Amino acid sequence: MMGGLCFMLNDKMCCGIHFSKKKETDLLMVRIGEEIAQKVSSREGCLPMDFTRRPMKGYIFVEPSGYYLDEDLNFWIDLCIAFNPMAKASKK
C-alpha cells in the first residue's frame, strides 16, 4: 500500500517505516488514533501522514529526530500497541 515496511498486530496495521523521497529519509509511521495524534503532534519530528497528499486521520509520520533514542521509539511503539485494540481491521 505505502511502499514501506508495515508491522501488524492482531491483523491490524500498527506501525511501519516509509522512505520519504521528498525528505530522503525513513519516517516512522504510527497508528495511534485521532485523539492521541492531536495531543502528540507538537512532539519533535511529528508530521501529518500525508503520502497521498491527503492526511490520514489517526496516523502520524515521525522523522528520525523523533525516534532516534530508544526511549522515544518506545514511546511511539507503546502508543501504537495501546491503540491497537480500538483500531478497526481492514476488510479482507
What domains lie within the chain, and their CATH numbers? 5-86 (3.90.1150.30)
The helix/strand/coil state of 36 is helix
Whole-prediction pTM value?
A: 0.89
pLDDT at 3 over 70: no
Per-residue pLDDT tens digits for 26-84: 999 999 999 999 999 999 999 999 877 888 899 999 999 999 999 999 999 999 999 99
Nearest residue to 83 via CA among 33, 29, 42, 46: 33
Q: What is the pLDDT of residue 52?
A: 74
pLDDT at 92 over 90: no
Residues 59, 64, 65, 71, CA torsion sign: positive
Burial (CB < 10 A; 0-12, 13-18, 19+), residue 4, is middle
